[in-house]
A and B are shown apart, each in its own frame.
Chain A
Amino acid sequence: MRILLVEDDEVLRDGIVAGLGLDGFDVDPVATLAEARAVATGDHAGIVLDIGLPDGSGLDLLAEWRRAGSTTPVLLLTARNLISDRVDGLDRGADDYLGKPFDLSELAARLRAILRRASGRASGDLTLGALTISEARRSVALNGAEIAVSRREFAILHALAEQPGRVLSRSQLEDRIYGWQEEIESNAVEVHIHKLRAKLGRERIETVRGEGYRMAAS
């Protein structure tokens, strides 16, 4: 899942990129409000936004986005751990809030939670018939038996399983699994789908010719 990170401290930014990467997120980092504005937010599943930035407050940017109609889930980070800040942030349209310093695993869990809620689910596990997908452990189980999948295979499966029956195009799937800096191999999505079918059974993922792929509504 692609996440936009807006944080001015270089060390922290780098750490979050690496840490969320370990948790299966693809993070696009920027350091200032100006850079964040320049980035199209529609591509990202969620945003991690620092409040104190060198060219202004993250809260203002958040309010801007919300005024423009963006519904992308936003998690605020701040060093000023005041109740008034938290209330202000949430009232301006943030979905969650984390004070510095924080635990990377908590950041990842909260991100998963707000992304899940944004897609209208309450549980951290996706169940489609005999197939169970656990977000927290990034594991897939078929009939109770765990199946090993790679990070990108998991991302594609998760994207498709979120809304069974809905068709996702190849480029939509590429957006979900690659960050900006990464080179996209031309047939990567096909390769991952092929491997997933081999592990879960052909009938689980259907090809809609000319449009993309969808999860069989079991």
Chain B
Amino acid sequence: MRSLRLRLFALVAGVTMLVWAGAAAWTAFSTRAEVERVLDRRLVEAARMVAALDVGANGAARQPEPGPYSRQLSCQIWSLDGALVGQSAGAPGRPLASGAQGFSEREVGGQWWRVYTHVDLVRGIRVMVGDNLEVRRNLVRDLMLGLLLPAAVGVAALALLLWLGVRGGLAPLARITRALDARSPGSLEPLAVQPVPEELAPLVRAMDALFARLDRARRAERDFVANAAHELQTPLAGLKTQAEVARRATDPAMRHNALERIESSVDRTSRLVRQLLELARQEGRESEPNPARFASLSDAVAEVEREYGSLAAASARPIQTCCARHDVAIAIDREALVLALGNLVANALQHGGRGPVRIECALGEDFVLSVVDGGEGIAEEDMARIRRRFERGRGVTSGGTGLGLSIVDAAITPAGGVLEFRRGASGFACMLRFPLDRVRCG
């Protein structure tokens, strides 16, 4: 059944009807039995009463005036030898019963009679008192109908009240349904339904929480797409402008310069797009369950060294790994670890002043993996905003996409990692801090 209300109503109404019908049947049955018993009792009383009258077996047959009950009750008085001594008015002439003492039923003159025969041996008479069975059945039927009619009206009234009751009881559900129906398909507002019954409160809470989560996710996604689009506008504007210059320039040197700019701008834009994709992939990871696999640290460091070796060599700044813990493994996706470490190394190579870039690690309260360079690092006033997407350090006008640290953050957060910065005597350190329960040694 599709409607909860209908289902509930059918259930309650069905059970009620069943009990009702049972009770009614019982009442009818016992009433009928009781009526039969009472009427039989009356027959016996009447027969004895008649027998007690002063009637002799050879007395003249008396024909009393017909009474009001003559149609129902008939009385015959027979002598023991079979002569009719007397009878009530309208009583049939033939004997109503065979003559034995007690109850019997017989058809006389096309009608069924229930008869009580009283044999009085002292007086030599046999008194037969009969009840017209048809009249008796009519009586019982009328009685039953009298009982059933109010019952039927009661059933209808009960059904109506049950229906109203069920509807009233389910009204909060209907309110929530209406509230859901009234929402526009894209709406993620919380359900503004009050009051909520306690049975439905967890449902409404769960839905509101889901709406809120979806809303946050959708907003983040929209912001991300909007930011990405805005970030792409500037390099695209540069490309378009340079292309126009190349088309209109009459001076070959000018055209050559414009084409060169276009080339480098395409490289930069494609790096931006690649980083956007990386960021999207890392952020998508957030919803995945924690990786059961462990990534070997020395493995990841070796890969980062390989990847950025040529860039380091080109800028004459070696990557030095000063990490004694070769046996450490971290519960993080290997690709994510390489990505995070690689982005920090690339940052250090690009903005980290001069001198080597060091990868260090320390096992204490937490496991800390740091990338240290000899540069200025991030200015104090930039610390708060630098992790946000598309935020570059103050005064940085070239190169960076403003996504590197966002990628690092997104890559390590699912594994419980935290990105921190520290300025020390040896330079500026970007640290990846992992809780010890995420780290395995040996």
- A interface residues (Cβ-Cβ under 8 A, vs B): 8-12, 14-16, 18-19, 22, 31-32, 52, 54-55, 77, 79-81, 99-105
Contact = CB atoms under 8 A, between A and B. Distances in A.
Contacts of B245: 15, 18-19, 22, 104
Nearest to A100: B237
Contacts of B262: 11
Contacts, number: 86
A31 B265 CA distance: 17
A6 to B, nearest CB: 12
Contact of B237 (A8, A12, A80, A105): A12
B242 A14 contact: yes
B101 interface: no
B241 A16 contact: yes
B304 interface: no
Contacts of B395: 32, 54-55
B230 A79 contact: yes
B234 interface: yes
The 7 closest A-B pairs by CB, nearest first: A15-B241, A11-B238, A12-B238, A79-B233, A101-B237, A100-B237, A100-B233
Given A31-B397, A54-B394, A9 B238 contact: yes
Contacts of A104: 241, 244-245, 248
A38 B260 CA distance: 30
B244 A19 contact: yes
Given A11-B235, A79-B233, 7 more contacts: A12-B234, A14-B261, A18-B249, A19-B245, A100-B236, A102-B240, A103-B240
A61 to B, nearest CB: 15
Nearest to A104: B244
A101 B229 CA distance: 11
Nearest to B268: A11
A100 B264 CA distance: 19
Contacts of A22: 245, 248-249
A129 to B, nearest CB: 33
B63 interface: no
> DSSP class of B's interface residues: helix, strand, loop or mixed?
helix
Contacts of A10: 397-398
Contacts of B292: none
Interface in B210-234: 230-231, 233-234
Nearest to B227: A80
30 contacts: A11-B238, A11-B239, A11-B241, A11-B242, A11-B265, A12-B234, A12-B235, A12-B241, A14-B257, A15-B238, A16-B241, A18-B242, A18-B254, A18-B257, A19-B241, A19-B244, A19-B245, A22-B245, A32-B395, A52-B234, A54-B397, A55-B394, A55-B395, A79-B233, A100-B234, A100-B236, A101-B237, A103-B240, A103-B244, A104-B248
Interface string B253-294: 010011001101100100000000000000000000000000
A102 B242 CA distance: 11
B417 to A, nearest CB: 29
A25 to B, nearest CB: 13
A22 B261 CA distance: 17
B407 to A, nearest CB: 20
Interface string B395-438: 11110000000000000000000000000000000000000000
B28 to A, nearest CB: 82
A8 B242 contact: no
A15 B397 contact: no
Contacts of B240: 101-103
A67 B378 CA distance: 33
A18 B259 CA distance: 12
A11 B239 CA distance: 8
A9 B268 CA distance: 11
A101 B254 CA distance: 21
Interface in B95-117: none
A77 B244 CA distance: 18
Nearest to B390: A52
B287 to A, nearest CB: 29
A38 to B, nearest CB: 14
Given A32-B395, A54-B394, A102 B261 contact: no
B392 interface: yes
Nearest to B392: A54
A52 B237 CA distance: 14
A103 B254 CA distance: 18
A12 B237 CA distance: 6
A55 B396 CA distance: 9
A109 B252 CA distance: 25
Contacts of A12: 234-235, 237-238, 241
B261 A11 contact: yes
A79 B238 CA distance: 11
Contacts of B237: 9, 12, 77, 79, 100-102
Given A9-B238, A11-B261, A32 B244 contact: no
Interface-centre pick from A11, A16, A101 (highest chain B CB count, 10 A): A11
A81 B392 CA distance: 21
Contact of B396 (A14, A18, A54): A54
A99 B229 CA distance: 13
A12 B244 CA distance: 11
A31 B236 CA distance: 18
Nearest to A23: B248
Contacts of B230: 79-80
